[in-house]
Amino acid sequence: MATTSESDFDYVLSQRKAFDETKAGVKGLVDAGTKKVPSIFRVPPEKSEKKVSNLSNTSHVIPVIDLADIHTDASKRHELVEIVKRASQTWGFFQVVNHEIPVSVLEEMKNGVKRFHELDTKDKKEFYSRDRTKPFFYNSNFDLYGSQPALNWRDTFKCLLYPDAPKPEEIPVACRDILLDYRKYIMKLGILLLEMFSEALDLIPNYLKDLGCAERVFGICHYYPACPEPDLTMGTTAHADNDFFTILLQDHIGGLQIRCDDKWIDINPVPGALVINIGDLLQLVTNDRLKSSEHRVLSNHVGPRISVACFFSPGAEASLRPLGPIKELLSEKDPPKYRETTFTEYEAYFVAKGLDGRSALAPFKI
């Protein structure tokens, strides 16, 4: 917390606790007519990078990849793998269209997320929790009690999608059917992407799947309420994802950006597209061949903005096994850049650190 004295610290903590206890999230503040961003959400001026100029005019270099012929045309597949490789090495981000998830499913997924977050607070409250082992829970700012200087203008629910989804009765009706439908599409696309990443690394197509990169998948479903003073707070602070890779569905509002040196590049919404990004774990196991990019979400006068991030992570057992650079990618010329760790150790560090703009891979670098 950005404080100068113990009493400041106590004050911030008590404010965060009071906010937590409402169980109504940021949406609750907006519903109550809040016209000024409360101090616990304000980014200290010295930490604010909002004014850094954007490179919107170069956003076209982050490719939108058309997967239409990938299963039928081998030379096309090879070409697409090359584009995925270049994007994953350079930006750690790309978008895909013709990914076989019908637009109607994408629309209903966004609607389901909106419906949940717009339930009456009394109905939504029963799902409010900070117990990360629950298969379905909702809260605001997973790192609410972390050391970051400001909270984010965002509420989130998280649903385990694989290896097992929650029992239907454990998922709120508002998003039950669509989550159970969406997970199947996401796994199919996830496996295809893992094949493409494996091929991009000159590994056999099943390599990354067999490594366990699709064992556990979470749907992390965000709701960014309209913000009365968007220049003072962030939707999501700069971070890299704590997974192998992420499939992100965003709506038409925009605000997602990735860092390129000291500039921020917009990932512009493309109708029907999904955003794919490399997470810290793929960067680690590929010894930096694929890049986990820092990204953030700006808050906005316009809202709510809805997004659904599907995180591909190691399964429960694999989380305890050593995780390090893939041996086939190492040589005398390419020595390991990371020491072996476990997902459990890495994740504990990520969560304790909170979203503060620093890489969670740093302690594992050799």
Phi, psi of 347, deg, nearest 5: -65, -40
Token pair 């930490």 is found at 47
* Residue 44 to residue 176: CA distance in whole angstroms: 39
Residues 6+ apart with CB under 8 A from 216: 160, 162, 163, 312, 313, 314, 315, 316
Does position 241 interact with ligand OGA (CB under 6 A)? The reply is yes
Least distance CB 154 / ligand OGA (angstroms): 8
What does 119 bind: Ni ion, ligand OGA, none (CB cut-off 5 to 8 Å by kind)?
none
How far apart CA 273 and CA 316 sit, in angstroms, is 31
Task: Pick the closer one to Ni ion by CB: 199 or 241.
Answer: 241
Backbone conformation region of residue 354, classed left if phi is above 0, alpha if psi is from -120 to 50, else beta = left
Angle at 331 between CA 327 and CA 337, to 5 degrees: 70
Tokens of 186: 């996401």
Nearer to Ni ion, 113 or 203 (CB): 113
Q: How far is the CB of 307 from ligand OGA (least distance, A)?
A: 3
CB atoms < 10 A from the CB of 1, how many? 16
Query: How many residues contact Ni ion, by CB under 5 A?
Result: 1
Q: Tell me which of 195, 215, 241, 266 binds Ni ion, using CB under 5 A.
A: 241
Residue span binding ligand OGA (CB under 6 A) among the ranges 54-62, 124-132, 199-207, 248-256:
248-256
**∠ CA 306-312-318 to the nearest 5 degrees?**
150
| Residue from 307, 313, 319, 341 in contact with ligand OGA (CB under 6 A) | 307
State the nearest-atom distance from the C-beta of 356 to ligand OGA, in Å: 14
String of contacts with ligand OGA for each residue 271-300, x by CB under 6 A? ------------------------x-x---
Output the six-digit token pair for 344.
């459990």
Q: Is 109 in the site for ligand OGA (CB under 6 A)?
A: no
Please state the closest distance from residue 355 (CB atom) to ligand OGA, in A: 9
Q: List residues near ligand OGA by CB under 6 A.
A: 220, 222, 236, 241, 248, 250, 256, 295, 297, 307, 309
Q: List residues near Ni ion by CB under 5 A.
A: 241
